[in-house]
Amino acid sequence: MRWPLTGGRAALLPAVLLTLALAGCAGQAPTQQSLTQESPGSSPAAYPGWPGDGTDLVPITVSTELVVGSNRFLLRLVDQQDKSLASPNLPVTLNFYDLAVDPAKPASTASGTYLEIAPGRDGLYRTTATFDRAGAWGVEAITSDSSGQHTGRSLFNVTATGTTPPIGAPAIPEDTPTASTPDQIKLIATDPTPDPDFYRLSIAQAIDAHKPFVIVFATPAFCSSQTCGPALNVVKSIAPPYKSKVNFINVEPYKLQIVNGGLQLVVDANNLPVPVKSVTDYGLPLEPYIFIVDANGNIAAKFEGVAGADELKAALDAVTR
């Protein structure tokens, strides 16, 4: 099941891949929420050698928003039986092909870094990839172990622009909910162990404070891919040393209401959760999603899905120098 925004536009095709990827990590049926419905364009056409038959690796592109320019690229790596192969002990090389230009020669090559989702869960690989054209692209994953070299290929689509604010764009001021007491926090947040500092300011107030800040769009209770809790927990774990210089905000991406003393989702006529205004305004393709904003109120970094502690620290160090 996907949870799209209301409005009637078609859901993102790559979001289906993320659904399958993250559901596979959880060992459950695909249930990742898709929040926006902007079509990325037509599916990649057939190119010689792509995606290839009989390979022993299956690379699955997890990133749903890949645009012209520099991108954080997330990849799930499985075998033909859909068993995850990702491991901190298994290096992977990623070759990226601009299929319309040359399906036989890589446009760039990068190493994948293992990304843990949560203890006991299958992980992903991440890297930075730059795409200079919109259209059909391919990724080739190469690994080696005691049995030899293994390869696999898959297709993905690059769009001219994305749905979320680009790096360098102004953060959008939003009057997101705030709370100052534990009882008030329980009315706006589903985190079972909330950090009160994550609910003191709205996004609009954080912009007006002229201080770097972090926005975590995540709902630990209602994220059925089971990645929102881990994503928020990673941010909470690295926050303490930065709190004197950085503000932190957790935004629940869906409208909530109190039912029988507890928070429940507000659903529409189709029994789908209703996204809050800030989710729509920020064009989120899914949740969780993390933005890091500099003191001038501009987007300095953004992370789709779970981010590694090292990635977040590097981004925060860059805006607090």
pLDDT digits (tens, 9 = 90+) for 127-162: 999 999 999 999 999 999 888 899 999 999 999 999
* C-alpha closest to that of 38 among 304, 287, 283, 302: 283
CB 255 within 8 A of CB 270: no
CB 46 within 8 A of CB 53: no
Residue 9 pLDDT greater than 80, yes or no: no
Q: What's the CA gap between 223 and 60, in Å, rounded?
A: 21
* C-alpha closest to that of 298 among 115, 155, 171, 149: 171
* C-alpha closest to that of 17 among 173, 210, 155: 155
Residue 183 pLDDT greater than 90, yes or no: yes
Q: What's the CA gap between 213 and 245, in Å, rounded?
A: 9
Q: What's the CA gap between 147 and 166, in Å, rounded?
A: 43
Q: Between helices 228-238 and 309-319, what is the axis angle to 10°? A: 50
Block residue for tokens 């090292």: 310
Q: Which residue has the higher pLDDT, 35 or 133?
A: 133
The token duo for 216 is 């975590």
Q: Give the angle subtended at the CA of 151 by the CAs of 146 and 157, to the nearest 5°.
A: 150
CB 124 within 8 A of CB 74: yes
pTM: 0.86
User: Could you tell me whether strands 92-98 and 108-115 are parallel, antiparallel, or unpaired per DSSP bridges?
Assistant: antiparallel
144, amino acid identity: S
For the chain, the domains span 39-158, 182-319
311, amino acid identity: E
Peptide bond connecting 88 to the previous residue in cis, omega within 30 degrees of 0: no
Structure confidence at residue 226 as a pLDDT band (50, 70, 90): low
Q: What share of the chain is helix, strand, coil (3-state, %, to 5)?
A: 20, 30, 50
Q: What's the CA gap between 3 and 203, in Å, rounded?
A: 24
pLDDT digits (tens, 9 = 90+) for 69-95: 999 999 999 998 999 999 999 999 999
Indicate the fold that domain 39-158 takes in CATH.
Answer: S-adenosyl-L-methionine-dependent methyltransferases (2.20.130)
CATH superfamily for 182-319 is Glutaredoxin (3.40.30.10)
Q: What is the dihedral of CA 28, 218, 128, 147, to 10 degrees?
A: -20
Q: What's the CA gap between 273 and 33, in Å, rounded?
A: 10
pLDDT digits (tens, 9 = 90+) for 261-287: 899 999 999 999 999 999 999 999 998
